[in-house]
Amino acid sequence: MNLWNRAMFISKAFLRSKLLLVAFLIVMNLGLLFVLHVYRNPGYPGSSLVASHLGSHKHGPFYNQTSDNPSRYTYMGLLTLPTSDDDVYFNATRLLVYRLNHHPKTKSQYPVHILVMKGVDQWKIDRLCKDGAKIIMVDRVRTEDLVDEGLSIAPGSNRYEYMFTKLSVFEQTQFDKICILDSDLLIRKNIDDIFKTPYTFTSPEAPDLEQLPLFLKPGDEEESQFGDDFKSYGAAKEEFYPYLVAASDDRNPGHPTPPEPSETFNAGLMLVHPSKLHLHRIKMIARYPFMYDNARMMEQSLLNLAYNAHGWFPWTRIDFSYNGVWITEEDLPYIRAAHGKFWEHDNQEFPPILAAEWSQAFGEMNAFYNYEGGN
Ligand SMILES: *[C@@H]1O[C@H](CO)[C@@H](O)[C@H](O)[C@H]1NC(C)=O
Ligand SMILES: *[C@@H]1O[C@H](CO)[C@@H](O)[C@H](O)[C@H]1NC(C)=O
């Protein structure tokens, strides 16, 4: 019988038969069972490490000192290493910066920072600075750096090799709220009101074990569920509040307008309150990709487990117009940020008008900078 393997994994057998377990415990007369099943990985970083890394974290509902100051709000993009010579993502990142910094209809009152992966060409960094972006250099985080040795992840393209680098947004604690955007977002209308999304102050009474997703641990026959082990994080649950991870519902091609609420969010645009403690928790979860779909959707799979609607830290749903994925003709008038590879003119995944919009927007950007002074 498979009960507790590690504090993080709760087996479905246990969940199905709590009553049976009680009877079983009485019969077995305790003791040995706990020794066997409340097993912790001896290599786990314990509280001392966490405390020294994070200092004394004063957020939490009992202190309520978390600052929420608009002068500490920012948009943030990520520029990764190119996977080909014609780095179209660099162009797309420039367009994102232009739309947020300059374009009359879409420009924001908040600054734009770009997390630039170490190793990106200097001329690209210089160009983004000229475009008005502020640069934050970040280390590359390879998927293998976070995942426990020997555990596999879904094979993705090169482009995804460093996608966990996006998690360094949680390290940028000089900001109170960060709207992190993928480069393939075309800003169509001003989205500054996203920053009004409040923090989550209160914890659910308990995770909903009926609803939390199931997974199969390698070598196991019974399905398990993820459960937070706050001892292994070295922090009490209360210290994780308030927090903020807000995003739009993920959806499928041909969805209705507005889309139906979904179990999962799309990680292409998120509003987060950076927190080293939350990052620590995310990294602990990241070690076991079998819990999050073998990272099939990379950081999106991971974050959808960490901020699952039925766990201790549910994500906050924001309007679908902030992140238009699988846009339909009917969605179009509402979409404030359109998500897709609109530079691919024969791509059938979105209304063709968006390819035209992207080209026009890119042309406007080039015209703007030419006019500005020949750079
Ligand atoms: C903390 O502050 C927020 C916002 O001001 C408020 O909604 C919340 O109730 C406060 N929590 C506590 C425990 O005082
Ligand atoms: C990126 O934009 C430049 C013009 O600014 C253009 O010459 C280049 O072809 C574009 N690259 C791609 C991959 O589209």
pLDDT for position 297? 84
What pLDDT sits at residue 51? Answer: 36
In this prediction, residue 68 carries a pLDDT of 93
Ligand 2 neighbour 88 (Cβ under 6 A): yes
Ligand 1 atom showing the smallest separation from residue 64 Cα: 1
Query: Is 27 inside any structural domain?
Result: no
Structural domain count of the chain: 1
**Residue 8 domain-assigned (yes or no):** no
In a domain, 96, yes or no: yes
Does the beta carbon of 346 lie inside 6 Å of ligand 2? no
In a domain, 241, yes or no: yes
Q: Is 61 in the pocket of ligand 1 (CB under 6 A)?
A: yes
246: left (phi over 0), alpha (psi -120 to 50) or beta: beta
Q: Which amino acid is at 271?
A: L
Ligand 2 pocket, 125 CB below 6 A?
A: no
| Ligand 1 pocket mutation, candidates 58, 64, 65, 241, criterion most atoms within 8 A of CB | 64
The reported pLDDT for the residue numbered 10 is 75
Which residue is closest in CA terms to ligand 1's atom 11? 61
Ligand nearest to the CA of 203: 1
The ligand 2 atom at the shortest distance from the C-alpha of residue 86 is 13
- The pLDDT profile of the chain, 375 residues, written as one tens digit per residue, is 333 344 577 776 655 655 555 555 555 544 333 332 222 333 333 333 333 344 444 444 445 567 899 999 999 999 999 877 789 999 999 999 999 999 999 999 999 999 999 999 999 999 999 999 999 999 998 877 888 877 777 655 555 678 889 999 999 999 999 999 999 999 999 999 999 999 999 999 999 999 999 999 989 999 999 999 999 999 999 999 999 999 999 999 999 999 999 999 999 999 999 999 999 999 999 999 999 988 888 899 999 999 999 999 999 999 999 999 999 999 999 999 999 999 999 999 999 999 999 999 999 999 999 987 655
Atom 12 of ligand 2 has which residue's CA nearest to it? 88
Classify residue 18: in a domain, yes or no.
no
Report if residue 9 sits inside a domain. no
Closest to 170 (Cα-Cα) out of 96, 267, 101, 82: 267
Gap between the Cα atoms of 195 and 74, Å rounded: 9
> Residue 91 is part of a domain; what is its CATH number?
3.90.550.10
The pLDDT of residue 370 is 93
What residues contact 195, with CB distance under 8 A and at least 6 apart? Answer: 70, 73, 110, 177, 179, 271
Domain region containing 180 = 70-202+235-319
Cross-strand partners of 79: 116
Alpha helices in the chain (DSSP H): 12-16, 18-28, 32-37, 47-54, 88-101, 122-130, 143-146, 230-233, 276-286, 299-306, 353-373
Q: Is residue 103 part of a domain?
A: yes
pLDDT at position 150: 74
Q: Give the pLDDT confidence score for residue 46 in this predicted structure.
A: 33
Residue whose structure tokens are 């549910």: 314
**Is 134 among the domain residues?**
yes
Which among 338, 358, 372 has a CA at the least distance from the CA of 88?
358
